[in-house]
Amino acid sequence: MRWAVILAGGVGSRFWPLSSPEHPKQLLPLAGDASLLEDALARIAPLVPAQRTLIVTSRALADVIREAMPGLPAENVMAEPVARSTAAALAWATARAARADADAAVVAMHADWAVADAEAFREAAATGLLLAQSEDVLVTVGARPTRVETGYGHVVPGAPLGAGRRIARFVEKPDTAAAESLMFQGALWNTGMFLWTARRFRAEIATHTPELAPGLRALDAGDAEGFFGAVRAVSVDVGVFERTQRGAIVTGDFGWDDVGSWAALRRVRHADAAGNVTHGDAHLVDSTGCVAWTDEGPLVVYGLTNAVVVRARGITLVTTADRAPALKGLLDRLPPGLAGERGA
């Protein structure tokens, strides 16, 4: 049966000052009125019921998420004893599905994406699951680039394989020239949406992922403490996909965005005629391409272009769309007390 695994452990700083350890990015209503995690659940629900949807997060966030997602069985929110990157997190959740259902087929995704076309998203997931089952491969979903983007991993597709292609190679975060060239060659953005059977995934990590090997016995036994205590951190991209011969890719054009910074809200929220996006009581006058977010009182932006203005949690931030992706670097330059309460 189909299972969904949603990775929701991320803690970062790109949505400071709105984000905080208690309210990281995936719990913020960045793409609409609901949180990104709520969006993710609603998006996959028609394909996978809540009973077979697992959320992997940190211990700090597990209760917050359980409370925010009353439709999900509480035990489906899985709290990692310690964060060990995506290979371990996905192995843990996949093993849980496998213990309940030896034929489990998993669709894995991150909680903090924006997706414009939920139906196309589910179509890609269904296509990828069929490919994973019929060809016994690990499948990633690639999005066709809509711009030159140096912040994403790229995948160069290889020979056709059923409804998808084999994977020729991965290129992690190319520079601008390489990203242009990749776009021209037909490379796809690696969305981080993966599909596999639990059986094949278990076999591939046993063969290719020495970082997880010392924990496999504990993993099979459902011993989370033992598993996380024994493994080393490695991403599923590097630790599995880049090593296996059984990788494949399907194309999914569903308006995928990883909402990487405040500036990305201009792509994922409804923009006015001047290209501004707002949240709260924001008023933009003679301004274009701005992000204006306020949780605390009116916000007026007058005569600015490509500015990012945020008032949240008692703090005001003003920067530019160009600088917004560098927010982590900014926080390192602020007094610890101010920057300390970072979120994701």
Binding site for its own copies (CB under 8 A): 17, 281, 283, 285-286, 294, 296-304, 307, 309, 311, 314-320, 322-323, 327, 330, 333-335, 338
Residue 47 CB, nearest approach to its own copies (Å) = 41
Cβ atoms < 10 Å from Cβ of 172: 12
Residue 267 CB, nearest approach to its own copies (Å) = 20
For residue 20, what is the DSSP state?
B
Nearer to its own copies, 206 or 338 (CB): 338
Residue 14 CB, nearest approach to its own copies (Å) = 13
Nearer to its own copies, 250 or 317 (CB): 317
Residue 277 CB, nearest approach to its own copies (Å) = 15
Residue 33 CB, nearest approach to its own copies (Å) = 22
Nearer to its own copies, 232 or 328 (CB): 328
Task: Show the tokens assigned to 60.
Answer: 């700090």
Residue 325 CB, nearest approach to its own copies (Å) = 11
Nearer to its own copies, 70 or 297 (CB): 297
SS3 at position 3: strand
95-124 CB burial, b ≥16 within 10 A, e <16: bbbbeeeeebbbbbbbbbbbbeebeebbbb
Length of the chain: 344
Nearer to its own copies, 182 or 299 (CB): 299
Q: Which long-range contacts (CB under 8 A, 24 or more apart) does 126-130 make?
A: 126/47, 127/163, 127/164, 127/250, 128/164, 128/193, 128/195, 128/250, 128/252, 129/2, 129/105, 129/195, 130/162, 130/163
- SS3 per-residue string spanning 224-246: HHHHHHHCCCCCHHHHHHCCCCC
Residue 334 CB, nearest approach to its own copies (Å) = 6
Nearer to its own copies, 181 or 320 (CB): 320
Nearer to its own copies, 154 or 311 (CB): 311
Q: Which long-range contacts (CB under 8 A, 24 or more apart) does 148-151 make?
A: 148/176, 148/179, 148/180, 148/183, 149/179, 149/189, 150/174, 150/175, 150/176, 150/179, 151/260, 151/325
